[in-house]
């Protein structure tokens, strides 16, 4: 493919998207208007309008070479699903025409029986519905017109991640508008915005294909540390290798064609690790785009003879990958509600939204932790490279000082006079660079947005944003209730801000999140520290969480229960697959290699003794060492295999997930430790797998 320089990027951008410009161009004026209204206000779309839109979409898609369409959705697998139907429709004379109706656009009926439903859908009622989400543009991928949709059961329960995400956006819209009204603002819609920074590894495809653990589980289940890791800190922001640069260039182009605002790319901390950040967009679009980004990262890598690893922890001892969820709230007129602003009036409004987020995170810290819980992310959180499993908020010194001054009535940098009069005088300016320094914080204020840094690299960003939106909606609703009934707005606001800071500042922590002392301190403050996925999930169905989601119409009790089941089962299944894979690699690759080496050494010793050689201490020592480790390996393999059998028989899902963690996962780690020791003894020519060094430095 020719170089990017020769291409007209603005023309390329969005060329595969049925976006606003195309709609305006292809749709009759009244139809365009009706569709716009549906998009901006969520109004119902009449079938005759949908018919015209569908016909225009099809015409446009066919011009671009598409032959099929699909309802593109995000089931609880965490990835996307699609079933392709062609546009063909038979007519007389054995001919066909290309057709696409409004009905087909608006609603689809995929068989839902093979997607995880956590008990919501019995197999006899397999029908599920996909419903068009017109707020996310249709696009063309691999010759198929993709219609972004939400997926629900016959009885209306959400079977996907998008439905609750859209519901949570509605919830925060409703409550934020109530609050804005108190400031004299009547806005059409309040939206949350997200810019997810995505980390990933790129390795050589040949190396990848020789590692069954990478193929089956996405991470290496064994492997000794290479002589060189990330200690020289020479990879972060380093110059891109040509093969990587070519890969990134094509990835950018493919993303731009789909209207994805890919903006920043660079090498990350670990060898072979990189990052891509888009410019932020509305949350549901950001979620769609992040899914497409991950899909294209893999696809384009394959084309370049590379493999993209999106797992949270592909290599032990080397930094894992996360996703930073930059999040804010803004009006459809573009006012960022987490921007401090420059006038007293803006400051007051900012402070109210700021303390709403602080309270929401404190009140629902467990739900935030749960939203990022996965088997893969358990390797990172609390492991000195990602934030700890304790949720806390970083505000930066200035802002923290201001909040403390408001709460305690103590002076801060001469602003004490202001503090008694929120809404009367201007707050100091908070320079962005003083708010963005602490990289160890799970949830950091970065000038005009919050950055939630606990997300794993593989997961959909939907769930963390569902809880953020809903928890903040809840606090805003409490604030609105209180302030709407106040006779004098400003003093009531003042008192509310002060009370909220006093009650919730335990969640604010500006120090080093990797420090053990912080964990002790956090415990004293009563913050929750949910170390593993099974431990975290146990809190999902607490009365408080169920009440939150029900009140705001985000999840029904049944939907939440189903998610609990799905996540627990998913956790157990992942550990089970990993355990089986490791057991298989050890039995069929590692044990034979160890035996071959023992055999070589034993034969050598026999030959030497036949010759009457006086010195054989090196061979003897090696043979003793390898034999000893080999025996230990065999014993630990038995332990793992027994644990797999025992734990897979446990009926209760929660008990089973815990047992996978405490027995199977623990046995895997012990087994791995011995295999890694053996790797350093067995000759390279006999070792059946590419080493960490060979994988991490496979791209030159």
Binding site for ligand ADP (CB under 6 A): 193-195, 197, 277-280, 326-328, 336, 446, 448-449
Q: How many CB atoms lie within 10 A of CB 280?
A: 20
Sign of dihedral through CA atoms 292, 297, 299, 303? positive
Quote the least distance from Cβ 196 to ligand ADP, whole Å: 7
Give the Cα-Cα-Cα angle 219, 278, 374 (nearest 5 degrees): 30
Tokens 């034993």 belong to residue:
602
Quote the least distance from Cβ 280 to ligand ADP, whole Å: 3
- Contact between 164 and 158 (Cβ < 8 Å): yes
Tokens 């012990």 belong to residue:
670
Integer Cα distance of 546 and 178 in angstroms: 23
**Dihedral, CA atoms, 587, 588, 591, 592, nearest 10 degrees?**
150
Please identify the residue of the shown chain whose CB is closest to the bound ligand ADP.
Answer: 195
Q: Measured from the CB atom, is 87 or 353 closer to ligand ADP?
A: 353
- Contact between 382 and 531 (Cβ < 8 Å): yes
Taking the mean position of all CA atoms in its chain, how far away is CA 60?
33
Tell which phi-psi region holds residue 610, choosing left (phi > 0), alpha (psi between -120 and 50) or beta.
alpha
Q: Measured from the CB atom, is 197 or 398 closer to ligand ADP?
A: 197
- Contact between 148 and 288 (Cβ < 8 Å): yes
Quote the least distance from Cβ 588 to ligand ADP, whole Å: 45
Q: Measured from the CB atom, is 194 or 566 closer to ligand ADP?
A: 194
Q: Provide CB contacts within 8 A for 454, sequence distance 6+.
A: 322, 368, 369, 372, 377, 381, 386, 387, 391, 442, 443, 464
Q: Are strands 443-445 and 450-456 parallel, antiparallel or unpaired?
A: antiparallel
Quote the least distance from Cβ 432 to ligand ADP, whole Å: 8
Quote the least distance from Cβ 652 to ligand ADP, whole Å: 41
Quote the least distance from Cβ 278 to ligand ADP, whole Å: 6
What are 530's strand-pairing partners? none
Quote the least distance from Cβ 154 to ligand ADP, whole Å: 36
Structure tokens that stand for 502 in this block: 């006093």
Q: Provide CB contacts within 8 A for 336, sequence distance 6+.
A: 328, 329, 330, 448, 449
Quote the least distance from Cβ 193 to ligand ADP, whole Å: 4
**Dihedral, CA atoms, 58, 59, 63, 67, nearest 10 degrees?**
30
Largest CA distance in the chain: 104
Quote the least distance from Cβ 507 to ligand ADP, whole Å: 21
* Of 173, 183, 178, 175, nearest in space to 347 by CA: 183
Quote the least distance from Cβ 437 to ligand ADP, whole Å: 11
Integer Cα distance of 214 and 217 in angstroms: 5
Q: Measured from the CB atom, is 337 or 373 closer to ligand ADP?
A: 337
Tokens 């546009």 belong to residue:
87
Q: Backbone phi, then psi, for 610, in 5-degree steps?
A: -60, -40
Q: Measured from the CB atom, is 291 or 533 closer to ligand ADP?
A: 291
Quote the least distance from Cβ 619 to ligand ADP, whole Å: 56
Q: Backbone phi, then psi, for 424, in 5-degree steps?
A: -110, -30
């Amino acid at each position: 493919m020719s170089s990017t320089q020769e291409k007209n990027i603005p023309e390329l951008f969005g060329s595969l998207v049925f976006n606003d410009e195309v709609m305006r161009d292809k749709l009759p004026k009244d139809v365009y208007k009706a569709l716009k209204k549906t998009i901006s206000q969520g109004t119902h779309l009449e079938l005759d309008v949908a018919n015209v839109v569908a016909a225009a979409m099809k015409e446009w898609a066919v011009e671009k070479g598409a032959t099929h369409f699909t309802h593109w959705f995000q089931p609880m697998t965490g990835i996307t699903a699609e079933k392709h139907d062609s546009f063909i429709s038979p007519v007389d004379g054995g001919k066909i025409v290309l057709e696409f109706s409004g009905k087909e656009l608006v609603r689809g009926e995929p068989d839902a029986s093979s997607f995880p439903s956590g008990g919501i859908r019995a197999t006899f009622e397999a029908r599920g519905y996909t419903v068009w989400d017109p707020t996310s543009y249709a696009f063309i991928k691999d010759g198929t017109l993709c219609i972004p949709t939400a997926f629900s059961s016959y009885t209306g329960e959400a079977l996907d991640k998008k439905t609750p995400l859209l519901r949570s956006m509605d919830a925060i819209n409703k409550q934020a508008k109530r609050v804005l009204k108190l400031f004299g603002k009547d806005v059409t819609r309040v939206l949350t915005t997200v810019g997810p920074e995505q980390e990933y590894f790129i390795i050589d495809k040949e190396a990848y294909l020789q590692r069954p653990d990478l193929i089956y589980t996405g991470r290496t289940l064994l492997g000794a540390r290479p002589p060189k890791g990330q200690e020289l800190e020479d990879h972060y922001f380093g110059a891109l290798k040509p093969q990587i640069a070519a890969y990134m260039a094509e990835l950018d182009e493919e993303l731009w064609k789909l209207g994805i605002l890919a903006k920043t790319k660079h090498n990350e901390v670990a060898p072979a690790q990189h990052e891509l950040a888009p410019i932020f967009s509305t949350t549901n679009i950001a979620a769609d785009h992040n899914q497409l980004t991950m899909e294209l990262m893999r696809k384009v890598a394959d084309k370049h003879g590379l493999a993209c690893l999106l797992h949270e922890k592909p290599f032990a001892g080397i930094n894992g990958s996360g996703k930073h969820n930059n999040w804010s709230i803004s009006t459809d007129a573009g006012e960022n509600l987490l921007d401090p602003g420059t006038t007293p009036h803006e400051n007051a409004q900012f402070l109210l939204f700021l303390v709403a987020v602080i309270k929401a995170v404190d009140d629902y810290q467990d739900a935030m932790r749960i939203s990022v819980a996965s088997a893969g992310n358990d390797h990172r959180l609390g492991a000195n490279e990602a934030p700890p499993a304790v949720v806390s908020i970083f505000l930066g010194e200035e802002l923290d000082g201001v909040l403390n001054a408001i709460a305690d009535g103590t002076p801060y940098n001469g602003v004490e006079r202001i503090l008694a009069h929120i809404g009367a005088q201007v707050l100091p300016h908070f320079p962005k660079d003083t708010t963005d320094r602490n990289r160890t914080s799970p949830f950091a204020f970065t000038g005009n947005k919050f950055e939630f840094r606990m997300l794993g690299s593989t997961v959909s960003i939907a769930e963390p944003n569902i809880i953020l939106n809903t928890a903040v909606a809840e606090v805003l609703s409490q604030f609105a209730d209180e302030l709407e009934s106040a006779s004098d707005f400003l003093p009531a606001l003042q008192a509310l801000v002060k009370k909220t800071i006093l009650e919730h500042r335990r969640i604010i922590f500006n120090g080093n999140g990797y420090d053990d002392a912080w964990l002790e301190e956090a415990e004293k403050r009563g913050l929750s520290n949910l170390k593993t996925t099974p431990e975290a999930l146990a809190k999902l169905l607490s009365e408080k969480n169920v009440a939150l989601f029900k009140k705001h119409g985000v999840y029904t009790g049944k939907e939440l229960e189903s998610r609990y089941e799905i996540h627990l089962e998913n956790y157990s299944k992942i550990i089970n697959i990993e355990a089986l894979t490791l057991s298989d690699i050890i039995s069929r690759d590692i044990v034979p290699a160890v035996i071959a080496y023992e055999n070589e050494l034993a034969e050598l010793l026999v030959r030497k003794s036949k010759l009457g050689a006086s010195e054989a201490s090196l061979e003897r020592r090696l043979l003793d060492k390898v034999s000893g480790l080999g025996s230990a390996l065999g014993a630990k393999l038995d332990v793992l295999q027994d644990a797999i059998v025992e734990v897979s028989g446990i009926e209760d899902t929660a008990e089973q997930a815990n047992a996978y963690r405490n027995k199977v996962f623990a046995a895997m780690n012990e087994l791995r430790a011995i295999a890694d020791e053996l790797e350093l003894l067995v000759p390279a020519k006999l070792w059946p797998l590419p080493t960490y060094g060979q994988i991490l430095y496979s791209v030159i």
